[in-house]
Amino acid sequence: MRSVALLIIGVLLAGVTCAASFVHGPYSGAPSRDAVTISWSCSPPLPGRVEYAPRAVVESRDELPYAVLVPAAEADRYHPTTHVRLEGLKPATQYVYRVVLTEGETEFASPLGLFSTEPETGKPISFAVLADTQWQWEGINRLEMVGDAIASDSTRFDFILHAGDVVESPATPYWDHWFSSFDDMLLVAPFIPVLGNHEKNHRSYYEAFVLPPGAGKDDERWWALHWGDVVIVGLDTNVRKATEMTAQQEWARTHLSGPEPHKFVIFHHPVFSSDLFYGSGYLLDVIYHPIFVETGVDIVLNGHSHHYEHIVRDGVTYLVVGGGGATPRQTTPEHVEGSDVSIEGHNFYVRVTASSSEITVDAISVARIVGETVVPTGGEVLDSFVIPCAVDTISLLRG
């Protein structure tokens, strides 16, 4: 997929000058059956347009026939982000897009990006997951290593999930470093995060990302994505008010009780973990675990603990995936109950594919961290497993 995309980029951008006007992006978010949001920030603010077309059209005619004109944003020191909602798209279609900025008679074109609209039921769905990218200024850029590995993965991802602690602190230098580290990854598929503790529920998080329909602050603090045969519920485990906890419990129960045969949940703090420093704690096993058991959740994705762990409790699979670039941490000698696999010392991401018959999961190492040394691992598989799905149950749910 990447080689084809690069070929298209070369054809489309011939004769068009690319410049450093883009501060962040472009990138996509909040995908649906017939819409997606394209986001970017530039300095100085410039007018422009978003060009897009189904990928099949681009590959046959080498052009992007559809465009939305965009006025210049107002400038401030936070690099204001422009969000453009593309609507009226074809369902179950992969699209190509780019952003073209205009300064007088000169145009500055972004690299080419990809996104897909929601598939029909019965079609396989694939997505990547990472967490705890945070920061890393010196030496090899581990964030970029993880992002480039996801961008070059041969799997066609419907979207990319992030389980929180996107940045170390919600200040401009950290956001600038994060976006520059993940610029290639962000062009592959829509990016959908949840809040970690390091984002501090700051306005910069909500300004940067447009998320699926949700609730809480800006209707985005927690959300739900219904995507073909999959539902993914994103929660915020940083809340302290009882009303916000109960609101999320009801939100989770409602959205996890729908017809989708494959059910996922993502939030930052781990329900169960063998992390030496954090452990499990947080009372999330009391607050959420019974709901997940009740509604038949397949996989819960968590970060915060900087290692990989595969835990099964009461039929629910919990994955600790805090290996997106932050410094790995140690685990306890005695692992928690239900811990099938626990691996420390790696930066990694997780690849998930849900089909009509099963869910397959691969944890892919990008680098092993030995003291201050970063050792690339070339895509070593840390863990791989399959969760079977009863085909007759899926047929019954669709009927």
The 3-state secondary structure of the chain, one letter per residue: CHHHHHHHHHHHCCCCECCCCEEEEEEEECCCCCCEEEEEEECCCCCEEEEEEEHHHHHHHCCCCEEEEECCCCCCCCCCCEEEEECCCCCCCEEEEEEEEEECCEEEECCCEEEECCCCCCCCEEEEEECCCCCCCCCCCHHHHHHHHHHHCCCCCCEEEECCCCCCCCCHHHHHHHHHHCHHHHCCCCEEECCCCCCCCCHHHHHHCCCCCEECHHHCCEEEEEECCEEEEECCCCCCCHHHHHHHHHHHHHHCCCCCCEEEEECCCCCCCCECCCCCCCCHHHHCHHHHHHHCCCEEEECCCCCEEEEEECCEEEEEECCCCCCCCCECCCCCCCEEEEECCEEEEEEEEECCCEEEEEEEEEEEEECCEEEECCCCEEEEEEEECCHHHHHHHHC
Residue 364 contacts by C-beta under 8 Å, 6 or more apart in sequence? 149, 153, 348, 349, 350, 351, 379, 380, 381, 382
Give the pair of three-digit tokens for residue 376: 């690339």
The radius of gyration of the chain's CA atoms, rounded to the nearest angstrom, is 20
Residue 393 contacts by C-beta under 8 Å, 6 or more apart in sequence? 261
* pLDDT of 3 above 50: no
* pLDDT of 14 above 50: no
Q: Which residues of 265-282 are buried (b: 16+ CB within 10 A; e: fewer)?
A: bbbbbbbbbbbeebebeb
**For 376-389, what is the mean pLDDT?**
96
Q: What's the rounded Cα separation, in Å, for the pair 361 and 229?
A: 16
* pLDDT of 62 above 70: yes
Give the tens place of pLDDT for each residue, 27-61. Answer: 999 999 999 999 999 988 889 999 999 999 998 87
Higher-confidence position of 276 and 93: 93
Confidence of residue 78 (pLDDT cuts 50, 70, 90): low
The domain 2-116 is placed in CATH, from the list 2.60.40.10, 3.40.190.10, 3.40.50.300, 3.40.640.10, at: 2.60.40.10
* pLDDT of 271 above 90: yes
Give the tens place of pLDDT for each residue, 238-270. Answer: 999 999 999 999 999 999 999 999 999 999 999
Nearest residue to 212 (alpha-carbon basis) of 204, 203, 221, 202: 221
Q: Give me the pLDDT at residue 80, please.
A: 81
* pLDDT of 5 above 80: no
Is the link from the previous residue into 65 a cis peptide, with omega within 30 of 0? Answer: no
Confidence of residue 105 (pLDDT cuts 50, 70, 90): confident
Interhelix angle 142-152/172-181, rounded to 10 degrees, is 40
How many angstroms separate the first and last alpha carbons of the chain?
35
- 38 with 64: CB under 8 angstroms? no
Pairing mode, strands 191-193 and 159-162: parallel
Q: What's the rounded Cα separation, in Å, for the pair 315 and 293?
A: 7
The pTM score is: 0.93
Homologous superfamily of 125-398:
Metallo-dependent phosphatases (3.60.21.10)
* pLDDT of 63 above 90: no
**For 93-111, what is the mean pLDDT?**
94
Q: Give me the pLDDT at residue 280, please.
A: 65
Q: Which residue has the tokens 């059209």?
A: 57
Give the tens place of pLDDT for each residue, 308-345. Answer: 999 999 999 999 999 999 999 999 999 999 999 999 99
* pLDDT of 392 above 70: no
Annotated domain spans of the chain:
2-116, 125-398
